[in-house]
């Protein structure tokens, strides 16, 4: 879940009316014949031991792709973080630990990068995509959602999904999370922590049956409790968070994906609603174009969410939203990005924020 956009040079996003998004990677750029240069893996034995983890009281994180964290471009992101100060300054990064197909990328190069981040007092968060996983669905088709003819089902973005009710899939997810913790991450951020949202009328689940009376939200909460029990037992200090649709703060009823914001907040250390103004339909908060009003959309969504949490008897505290830092629906200036952070603080929330910019081209003006 835990769920973004930018230009063709870096990524594209398609958004459904329900607020779902499909991140598409760019096609390779044609180049002249180039020499292939092998890059040696770092020797972890020559590196200092992992520095102690420092858990920020307020997490202010930048999203980093799997390719960027392994490249020299990471130097610029670290310089930006270390050179910023004040209430808008980042102190953490959310790092992809899988490629686009779902293959796990916890190798020595990633471990070396995490050692460096911890040494520099930058809190490392592992983003683990859960139930949308092309690689695992193809490897273990008996775990995956199918069509009626037995072939693997795909959503409108061409992606395969696992049956969220399958305990074998839960155990696999917990195993990947353990690898990430052992690599040095201080938090696991579960994304796509839900049932699929698009084209579901043709989906056939190996285990879950709607007719059996078990609601999707019950399944997702059960998975959350399983992961918490499995991981906190061995790693009591690890933080566990989950990305959820921003629209879950707008409606009490399930959106058909199994995400109940209050129920998940009762399990995880933090939940991370993806409150991207560009993903809201015209008419929300009486705006023809909600994307052009980032403060009002963030503030209004959190206010509605607070009411839903109050009705559920759940404290409205461990909420850490994703903010929009990409051009969709409007050209996002540094002031528009900062306005979302201000709205989060004005709502009385202190858990922090996560900045989604799929190109990882972060502007220093935002964080000063």
Q: What pLDDT does 10 receive?
A: 32
Distance of CA 182 to the CA centre of its chain: 20
- Three-state DSSP class for 227? helix
**CATH of segment(s) 12-28+59-367:** 3.20.20.70
pLDDT tens digit sequence for 76-98 = 999 999 999 988 999 999 999 99
Q: Is the pLDDT of residue 170 over 70?
A: yes
Q: How far is it, in rounded angstroms, from Cα 341 to Cα 288?
A: 22
Question: In terms of residues, how long is the chain?
Answer: 368
Q: What pLDDT does 191 receive?
A: 98
Q: How far is it, in rounded angstroms, from Cα 231 to Cα 268?
A: 12
User: What is the full DSSP assignment across 123-190?
Assistant: EEEEEEE-SB-HHHHHH-GGGB-B-TTSSBP--TTS--BB-TT-HHHHHHHHHHHHHHHHHT-SEEEE
Range with lowest mean pLDDT among 5-14, 109-118, 194-203: 5-14
Q: What are the strands, taking DSSP E only, across 284-339?
A: 322-324
pLDDT tens digit sequence for 192-230 = 999 999 888 899 999 998 767 789 999 999 999 999 999
Map out the domains of the chain as residue ranges: 12-28+59-367
Q: How many CB atoms lie within 10 A of CB 217?
A: 20
Residues 6+ positions from 161 with CB-CB distance below 8 Å: 131, 132, 133, 137, 144, 145, 153, 155, 195, 196, 203
Two structure tokens written together for 218: 């019950």
Buried/exposed code over 125-137 (b: 16+ C-beta within 10 A; e: otherwise): bbbbbbbbbbebb
Q: How many CB atoms lie within 10 A of CB 107?
A: 13
For β-strands 92-96 and 270-274, DSSP reports them as unpaired
Two structure tokens written together for 88: 């808008």
What does pLDDT average to over the chain?
Answer: 88
Torsional class of 147: left (φ above 0), alpha (ψ -120 to 50), beta (otherwise): beta
Mean pLDDT of 340-353: 98
Is 0.85 topped by the overall pTM?
Answer: yes
Q: What percent of the chain has pLDDT over 90?
A: 80
- Three-state DSSP class for 264? helix
Buried/exposed code over 261-291 (b: 16+ C-beta within 10 A; e: otherwise): bbbbbbbbbbbbbbbbbbbbeeebbebeebb
């Amino acid at each position: 879940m835990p769920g973004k956009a930018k230009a063709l040079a870096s990524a594209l996003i398609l958004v459904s009316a329900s607020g779902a998004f499909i991140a598409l990677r760019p096609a390779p750029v044609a180049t002249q014949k180039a020499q292939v240069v092998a890059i040696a893996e770092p020797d972890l034995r020559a590196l200092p031991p992992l520095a102690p983890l420092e858990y920020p009281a307020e997490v202010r994180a930048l999203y980093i792709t799997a390719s960027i964290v392994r490249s020299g471009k990471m130097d610029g992101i670290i310089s930006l973080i270390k050179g910023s100060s004040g209430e808008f300054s980042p102190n953490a990064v959310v790092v992809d630990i899988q490629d686009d197909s779902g293959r796990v990328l916890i190798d020595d190069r990633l471990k070396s990068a995490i050692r460096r981040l911890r040494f520099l007092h930058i809190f490392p968060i592992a983003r683990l995509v859960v139930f949308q996983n092309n690689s695992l669905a193809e490897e273990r088709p008996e775990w995956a959602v199918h069509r009626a003819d037995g072939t693997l089902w795909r959503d409108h973005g061409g992606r395969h999904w696992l049956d969220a009710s399958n305990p074998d899939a839960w155990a696999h997810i917990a195993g990947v999370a353990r690898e990430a913790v052992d690599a040095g991450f201080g938090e696991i951020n579960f994304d796509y922590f839900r049932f699929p949202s698009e084209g579901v009328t043709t989906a056939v689940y190996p285990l879950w049956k709607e007719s059996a009376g078990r609601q999707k939200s019950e399944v997702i909460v059960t998975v959350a409790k399983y992961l918490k029990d499995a991981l906190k037992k061995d790693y009591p200090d690890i933080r566990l968070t989950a990305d959820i649709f921003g629209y879950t703060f707008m409606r009490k009823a399930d959106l058909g994906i199994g995400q109940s914001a209050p129920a998940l907040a009762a399990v995880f250390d933090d939940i991370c609603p993806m409150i991207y103004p560009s993903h809201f339909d015209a008419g929300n908060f009486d705006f023809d174009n909600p994307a052009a009003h980032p403060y009002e959309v963030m503030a209004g969504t959190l206010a509605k969410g607070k009411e839903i949490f109050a009705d559920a008897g759940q404290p409205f505290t461990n909420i850490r939203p994703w903010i929009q830092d990409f051009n969709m629906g409007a050209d996002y200036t540094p002031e528009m990005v900062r306005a979302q952070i201000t709205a989060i603080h004005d709502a009385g929330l202190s858990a922090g924020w996560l900045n989604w910019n799929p190109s990882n081209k972060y502007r220093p003006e935002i964080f000063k």
